[in-house]
Amino acid sequence: MMSGKYTSIDAQQLQGSVPAVPDQGPATVNFADSNLQTFPPSGTQGKISAASGPPRDADDSFSKPGSGSDESQQGGWLRTFTIAAYKPYFDVDTSDVVERIRDSLFPFRGSFNEKTATNPDLYGPFWICTTLIFVAASIGTFVTYIAHKLKSKEWDYDINLVTWSAGLFYGYVTIVPLCLYVILKYFSAPAGLVQLFCLYGYSLFVFIPALCMSIVPLEIFRWVIAGVAGFMSATFVALNLRAHIKSAGERWFLIVAGIFLLQLALAVVLKVYLFTVSV
C-alpha cells in the first residue's frame, strides 16, 4: 500500500516539472546539391571522356562533314586503289539508268553527253556488258544446238563462248575508250575518260535485243539485225562525240569515221563468231 502511494505522488511531481514545448510547425530538411542531378556529368570522370566519339571503323554516317576518313585523307595515285574513289560513278538510281538506256536507243538525238556530263556512271556500262556476255553465250549456244538437232548430229557445249564473250565485251568497252582518250588528248581535244567509258558502255545495249532476235533461224534476217544494231550503236557514239571532236582540227572527220566503222566491225564480229553455224 505504501509503495503504490509513493509511486502516484512521484508521477504527479514529474508531470508538473516538465516544461511544455511550443508548436513550431513542420520541420524543413535541406540537402546539399549533388552532381547526380545532371547526366552525363559535365566534367571528365574516370577513363571514359564525355567527348569520346565512335570508333574509327564505324560507319560513315557517324562521321561529321569535314572530319574525313582514312580513305578520304589519302591523296595522289593511292586514292585510285580505294573504294571511295569510285563511289561517285555508281551514284545513280534506276530511273537514271533507264533514261540513259532509252537515249541510247534513239541515236540521232546526240544529247547523251550533255545529259551525263556532270554525272557519268559506270554502273550501267558494267551491267550492260555483263548481261551481253551471258546473252551472247546462251543465245549462241542455243542456235548451234538447234542447228545440230535439225540435222540429227551430235552436239557438244562449247564453254569457250562464255570466255570469248567476256573478253570481247569487257575488252572492247575498256580498250577502245582508253585509245580514244589518248588520241583526243594528242589532238588537244581531251575528253573525260569516265565519260567515254559511260558512252561506250551504253552504246552496247542495243546488241542485247539484237542478240535475242538472232535466234530466228534465217541467215538474211540475222545479217539485217546485226547491221541495224551496229548502225544504231555506231551512230549513237559518233553523233555524241562529233561536236567535241570538231575542236581537234581538220582531221576530226577521220576520227569520227573511225569510231563509226569500229562499232560496225563489232556487229560483224558478233554475227560471224556467234551466229555462223558450221555443222
pLDDT tens digit string along 26-64?
A: 555 554 444 444 444 444 444 444 444 444 433 343 333
Least confident residue range of 4-8, 206-210, 228-232: 4-8
Domain boundaries, position 203 = 118-274
Q: 202 with 232: CB under 8 angstroms?
A: no
27 domain-assigned: no
The answer to whether residue 122 is domain-embedded is yes
Domain count for the chain, please give it.
1
**What does each C-alpha distance from 69 to 81, 97, 187 come to in angstroms?**
15, 30, 39
Q: Is 270 exposed, middle or buried (0-12, 13-18, 19+ CB in 10 A)?
A: buried
pLDDT band at 19 (very low <50, low <70, confident <90, very high): low
270 domain residue, yes or no: yes
pLDDT of 262 over the 90 cut: yes
223 in a structural domain: yes
Asked if residue 68 is part of any domain, the answer here is no
Across 52-66, 70-84, 240-254, the highest mean pLDDT is recorded for 240-254
Establish if 206 belongs to a structural domain: yes
pTM of the model: 0.68
Residue 115 pLDDT exceeds 50: yes
Residue 213, all three cell numbers? 532476235
**What's the mean pLDDT in 235-262?**
86
Q: Higher-confidence residue: 41 or 99? A: 99
Read off φ and ψ for residue 122, nearest 5 degrees: -110, -5
Whether 191 maps to a domain, the answer reads yes
